[in-house]
Chains A and B, each alone.
Chain A
Amino acid sequence: MSSMWTTKLRKATVEKFEPQDVLPDDQPSYVASWIYVFGVLTLSSFAIIILSGLILTTRGAIWWHSSNVGHFVNSMHLWSVELFFVFMVVHLWGKFWMAAWRGRRFATWVTGAFCFLASVATGFTGYLIQWDFDSQWIATQAKDGLNSAGIGSFFNTLNTGQAILLHVSLLPLVLTFIVIWHVILVRRNGVVPPLDAKEIAGGAK
């Protein structure tokens, strides 16, 4: 049985988690600081980015230039991204000063770093598909850096059709995948204890 692929996959995934680990209703007593809120704030603004982006998607690329409602949704998309980055950067500095990579949490840090880099790439392609002066400017400026690194030979910032598909399809998929992975790792490992923490005997198990 254990040689079956299905069994192996189950052991490597589902069986690693107890229901209480996936959605715990308690946390170690040291989880008591405003800094813990920033992970969730990042996640919430990411959800708003996706929702506002989906509304823009259903109406097409140039809708928001001619509709007041559309322009408002576009503004929500932009500002949720700005807040997303603010929250993420506070979150990341928080995790740095907590040395939150201790005890097999290195992978959590690495997936977090990839969240940041994938977000930058996704944000950049978003700026390329505004169908206005900003996109034209950013596309013509950014091409030189990308071309010099050879990236421009397969990713052409001046090809708006390519940029929009990357922005609404491939990159959000990749980013969502990494975010989910990041959060699963957090749940799997539990929240990192304070530096030099001592376990208190007789505490709740």
Chain B
Amino acid sequence: MSKERNVDLAKWSGPKRPYDLVKEFVIAFVVVGLLVGAISAIFSSPDEPAVTLQQWANQAPADFVATTAGELAGTTISAAYGPPYNTASEGLNLGPIKIQKWAGVTIPVNPAVDFVTTPLKFSKDPAVPAALAQWNGASSGQQTKWATDYSTAIGKAGDYTKVTASQTYGPVPTMASGLLVLAQSDVLDGLLTTTVTPYPSDFTKPMLFLADGGYFDDLGAKQHLHGDQWGMMNETGSYPGQSWLWLFSLWYQVEPFKSSANADIQIFAFLMLLNLGFIFMPKIPFINRLPRLIPFHRLIWRRYYRENNL
């Protein structure tokens, strides 16, 4: 054992062979370059166009209106999210460990205000200013009641166009259809990205809004991109995607994670543990003896072992 350790540590003084590292690199570089060029020419790369709020509003107006009502009622994913966007919930936890809550609200998003009432100030619909005034003048309890009643009515009727007009919904139907027109005419996309500067680079608001609806979600499901469809590592079409995330993606397919409300943080924490295991693998008992127990090394260095009768 001690002798072998010495061999591992010492500078090798046994036989040597000529080895041209630079030539090896240059040949490898050219071969890989040609291979990449050939694969790229044959398979190209995916480029499914980005989805806009305008597209959503035109192709699925019912979903758009229902989602807008949900933002006002506080029932959508982002309205109920919690940190880092708002304080509507505490976010996920690992028992008493509430990292999401502790990290705080660093990217403030108030969906009812940011997605609906602020953009509506730019509406050209003559009925909208009065509706906005009524909304802003009401108590938050009243606002939630209007929006919730309207959401429920849409749910029952299946489509906002089939909901019969009623005072119980307050200004919500006018606001929702006003926002629909804004989105259909391509104004809303710009309004949600240019609050700080006219050069958009932060898509937090339009993307949170889009992802609250069913339209975007369906597009993902059609492209086999949902989390329980191994979506984390997939790409549109039949491209390999981030296949190296398989060990991350795997846990979303199995219990107890699959049905856990805290799956995201549980899997994240578990994966961090596995990563530590990977980094410190050489120090982990048994695992660090596997290369001896399953002797692939006899194959790799077979010439050496043969020539030295080992």
Q: Which residues of A contact B (CB under 8 A)?
A: 23-33, 35, 37, 40-41, 43-45, 47-48, 52, 64-65, 71-72, 74-76, 78-80, 82-83, 85, 89, 94, 96-99, 101-106, 109-110, 113-114, 116-117, 120, 123-124, 127, 130-137, 139-142, 144-145, 147-150, 152-154, 156, 158-162, 190-200, 203-205
Contacts and interface: CB of A to CB of B under 8 A. Distances in A.
B17 A29 contact: yes
Given A37-B24, A123-B242, A148-B268, A29 B210 contact: no
- Which of A33, A137, A144, A205: most chain B CB closer than 10 A? A137
Main secondary structure, interface of B, reads: helix
Interface in B53-71: none
B18 A158 contact: no
A109 to B, nearest CB: 5
Given A65-B47, A134-B236, A33 B300 contact: yes
B282 A101 contact: yes
Contact of B19 (A31, A75, A154): A31
Interface residues of chain A: helix, strand, loop or mixed (majority)? helix
A103 B9 contact: yes
Given A76-B40, A196-B4, A113 B15 contact: no
A103 B5 contact: yes
A133 B219 contact: yes
A45 B32 contact: yes
B21 A23 contact: yes
18 contacts: A25-B21, A26-B17, A28-B14, A29-B304, A30-B303, A32-B304, A33-B301, A43-B25, A74-B45, A96-B281, A99-B282, A101-B281, A120-B242, A133-B219, A158-B203, A192-B8, A195-B301, A198-B3
B104 interface: yes
Contacts of B155: none
B46 interface: yes
B231 interface: yes
A195 B297 contact: yes
B225 interface: yes
A204 B294 CA distance: 32
A99 B283 CA distance: 11
Contact of B202 (A43, A85, A137, A158): A158
B107 A156 contact: yes
B149 interface: no
A34 B107 CA distance: 50
Given A141-B225, A197-B7, 11 more contacts: A29-B14, A97-B291, A102-B8, A109-B282, A132-B49, A133-B223, A136-B51, A140-B210, A148-B92, A153-B104, A193-B7
Interface string B200-218: 0111100110110000100
Interface in B7-32: 7-22, 24-25, 28-29, 31-32
Contacts of B303: 30, 32
Interface stretch (B95-103, B135-143, B175-183): B95-103
Interface string B229-258: 001100110011011110000000000000
